[in-house]
Amino acid sequence: MKTVLVTGGAGYIGSHACKALKAAGYHPVTFDNLVTGWQQAVKFGPFEQGDLLDRARLDAVFAAHQPVAVMHFAALSQVGESMQDPGRYWRNNVTGSLTLIEAAVAAGCPHFVFSSTCATYGEQDNVVLDEESAQLPINAYGASKRAIEEILRDFEAAFGLRHVIFRYFNVAGADPQGEVGEFHRPETHLIPVLLDAIDGKRDGLTIHGTDYETPDGTCIRDYVHVCDLVDAHVLGLKWLEEGKASRVFNLGTGQGFSVREVMDHSRTVTNREVPFTEGPRREGDCTKLVSGSTRAATELGWQPHRSTLSDMIADAWRWHQNGHYDR
């Protein structure tokens, strides 16, 4: 059984990836510092606690498990925080990833699957965003991810480290079986915040900006179900194992929904009202981010099956009512 080192495997996307990897016949080993992850989410393989900035710890984990690939999710990811404290994002995301990449090369681990983001494209309204679109990030989070992509290209040129980069749009939903789900403290993602508001766990949802140039004045995003997303990562790993060239793939559905549209769907799914207030824009937020790419479908054979807004909200609501982690 082939071992895959999953950084951030105790987090939202990483834990779902570990489940998908195990189902596909791999042996996922989670590497996580538990700053934003949860040890209770590690259910599908061994757990190694450590920090990406600790090269000696990484070397020990590579030596102990001898992974054939790295699946790298570990990162700080709050856009607003990245604008206020950019140094933390450059240090954690970029320096941490560089340390990980150097450790992988030193250990002879040949394949690297990287969790990037559509935030690398920045503010490009009325532009079809595909993998060849200009990368013009407007916040430190997106800039840090773009830098890691460049590091991977340099390390392939120097050392032959082949990689697949996934730039994804807004990830939502939860494992339909309820084994893992989305649980952040603090929570910043729209759908779980909205569900908290519906459930009375917070005073209400704040709509950050109602004066965007969109039909209803609120931001538009392309949402993809977390289970569909991690299925693409398994396909990306197999792509590398088949000897194919390094590649970048967008992961989105090509359909955008505004904040108000997400609220409307949530009312329908939960049969409850959404308490909300209207607030100013957040620094670093783009007006519209929607994928215009079909590369993942045509080349990887990726087809999202649960990425309807109703399914994503229903799965998230089920997890919201029944699942949580504790420190």
**Residues labelled catalytic:** 141
Q: What is the CA radius of gyration of the chain?
A: 19
* Best CA proximity match to 22, nearest among 179, 141, 146, 251: 179
User: Residues, the chain, total?
Assistant: 327
Encode burial over 300-326: b for 16+ CB neighbours within 10 A, e otherwise: bebebebbbbebbbbbbbbbbeebeee
Task: Based on DSSP, count helices (H) and strands (E) in the chain, helices before strands.
Answer: 11, 13
Alpha-carbon span 292 to 304, nearest angstrom: 15
3-class secondary structure, 214: coil
3-state SS string for 160-191: CCEEEEEEECEEECCCCCCCCCCCCCCCCCHH
Terminal-to-terminal C-alpha distance of the chain: 32
- Which runs of E-coded beta strand occur in the chain? 3-7, 27-32, 47-49, 69-72, 111-117, 162-168, 170-172, 205-208, 220-225, 247-251, 256-258, 276-279, 288-289
Encode burial over 38-58: b for 16+ CB neighbours within 10 A, e otherwise: beebbebbebbebbbeeeebb
Judge whether 168 and 224 are in contact, CB under 8 Å. Answer: yes
